[in-house]
Structures are given as structure tokens and as C-alpha cells.
Amino acid sequence: MPAEKTGRLLAQEWRELLAVHARTICELDRELHAYGLGASDFEVLDILAEKGADDRDRALRVQELAARIHLSQSALSRLIGRLEKDGLVTRGMCSEDRRGVSVSITGVGRDRHAEVLPLQRAVLARTLGERPAR
């Protein structure tokens, strides 16, 4: 059985992980800015495009999206509002529960996602490729 890591080593790994995250988010934001997107905007489009790959008519509930995007419900709601204003997503009532709100990607959103996907993947390869193997 491997020896347990000390608190100091765990804290060091945590800080390294945070540093990689911060560098990655900053670089993504810089690169995506030219396309009118930020890292969180792209992440929403990416999740919706992935979801729609199997079933184009399938939308995600805002709560489902919030669980995957790591933003507060209010921040996600504002982000969805911006994406909707830009014609990249649509919001509607959930068919299963009229109290819920669902979000789906539009054709314009799919096109923008496809356009910037290689850029996002290149940033991830650069920033995550720097991490030493453990």
C-alpha cells in the first residue's frame, strides 16, 4: 500500500492544480475573446453540443447544466442570457416539468462551437501538457 501523502504534499499538489487551472482559464479567455466568447461561455456550448450530438432535440435543464459548469445558478443564468442574446442558445420551459427551464444550442451556436473547438483543444493541449506525470 502506498504511503499516505503528508498534509504539506497535498497542499502543494492543490496549489499546483489551482495554478494550472488559472493559467488554462486565462489563456482560454484570451484566445476565445476574438470570437466573442469566454471560457465559461465555451464550456456551456461544449456541453450542449455534446449533449445534442446524440439527440439534437434534447435540451438540458438549467439545474443539470449548473451541476456540470461550476457556476452559481445566478451566474449561469446571466451567462445563458448573454448566449441567448447572441443567438447561440435558446431557453424554454421543460417538457417534463413546466416549472423548470431548459437550454439548447442553436444552429448558430453549433457553428460557433465547431469554429472554436480546435482552438480550445489546442489551449488545453498546451496548458495541460505542461503538467508533470505523477
- Per-residue pLDDT tens digits for 61-111: 888 899 999 888 889 999 999 999 999 999 988 766 767 888 999 999 999
Q: Do residues 108 and 87 touch, judged by C-beta distance below 8 A?
A: yes
Q: Are 131 and 20 in contact (CB under 8 A)?
A: yes
Q: How far is it, in rounded angstroms, from Cα 87 to Cα 81? A: 10
The predicted pLDDT at position 52 comes to 61
Mean pLDDT of the chain: 87
Q: Which three cell numbers stand for residue 87?
A: 443567438
Neighbours of 47 (CB within 10 A): 17
Regarding predicted confidence, which is higher, 51 or 67?
67
pLDDT at 1 over 50: no
Q: 7-128: which CATH number, 3.20.20.70, 1.10.10.10, 3.30.360.10, 1.20.870.10?
A: 1.10.10.10
Please give the average per-residue pLDDT across 102-129, as a whole number: 94
Contacts of 115 (CB under 8 A, 6+ apart): 35
Q: Which of the residue ranges 13-22, 62-71, 109-118 would you say has the lowest mean pLDDT?
A: 62-71
Provide the whole-model pTM: 0.83
Phi, psi for residue 30 in degrees, rounded to 5: -60, -50
CA 29 – CA 78 distance, rounded (Å): 17
Mean pLDDT score, 40-46: 96
Length reported for the chain: 134
Close Cβ partners of 133 (under 8 Å, ≥ 6 residues apart): none
Q: What is the mean pLDDT of residues 115-131?
A: 90
pLDDT value of residue 111: 96
